[in-house]
Amino acid sequence: MKVAFQGRHGAYSESAALQLFGKDIETVPADTFEDLHKMVIDGSVDRGVIPIENSTAGSILENYDLLLKYRLPIVGELKLQIDHCLIALKGETLETLTKVVSHPQALEQCSIFFENNPQIEKKPFFDTAGSVERIAKKQLKGTGGIASAFAAQVYGLSVLKQPLANFPGANSTRFFAIQKNSPPIDEALHTKTSVAFILGNNKPGALYSCLGCFAKHDVDLIRIESRPKSGSPWEYVFYADLAGNPLLAHVKMALDELGAMAEFILLGSYAKGESRGVEF
């Protein structure tokens, strides 16, 4: 099985793919999230794994938009603890480093380290694992990267400090697995469902009525997110995660009622994701 992820080998997304589908899969890097969706559509990979929400940085909004644009069904979920490490060439120490490169979010999430080490310059880079890849390929002395211990293992570098983040253990990312075709819904296995809906008439109380469908039928609404509707200024798409699946009578009644009031899209039904640490 080929599974695409965005970034470079050693990325947190690659670790999520390996945990979702097993270590025997072939992981395929994509430069952008849109490239990843296109790879799934054209069949060059079997599935893709995308981050959808981070516990500190919030939603990955681009991927919400791409879920609606390409309509690739969600077939799995995983919550991965993000454990940042300071990584450098073997033989380096904290005292020999003059700069650290990584994704801007990773640098910000490790801001206390830089406050305590003002002699070390922080430099933004496009990707966490990509920063480690660059250090390894160019043999950059005096330069560290921030990524996972998995990335250090992939590129044969040393972990100088772990954990590195301001609040160790408090940073997690939720990932979705996507594929080209919708699998059959398993009433026992699929305990979570994601939908999108667009209000037909933006009249007072319209959103309240839509959300009321879930309360009326005792459906647990876990999360809701709104995004601008592409090409329609000041109109919005609402994304919702709910407990259960459309085969359950109370969920079906809620979704049928929602469909009568709004344009409704089923994004996927899947097993509720486990919380795990980076293992690969």
The residues annotated as belonging to the active site are 173, 175
Residues 175 and 267: their CA atoms lie apart, in Å, by 14
Look at residues 35, 47, 53, 16 and name the one whose alpha carbon lies nearest to residue 239: 53
Placement of tokens 């009321």 in the chain: 212
Residues 73 and 261: their CA atoms lie apart, in Å, by 23
Torsion angle, alpha carbons of 269, 58, 174, 265, to 10: 10
In Å, what is the CA distance from 133 to each residue of 27, 97, 147, 152?
16, 17, 10, 9
Amino acid code (one letter) for 205: G
Alpha-carbon Rg for the chain in angstroms:
21
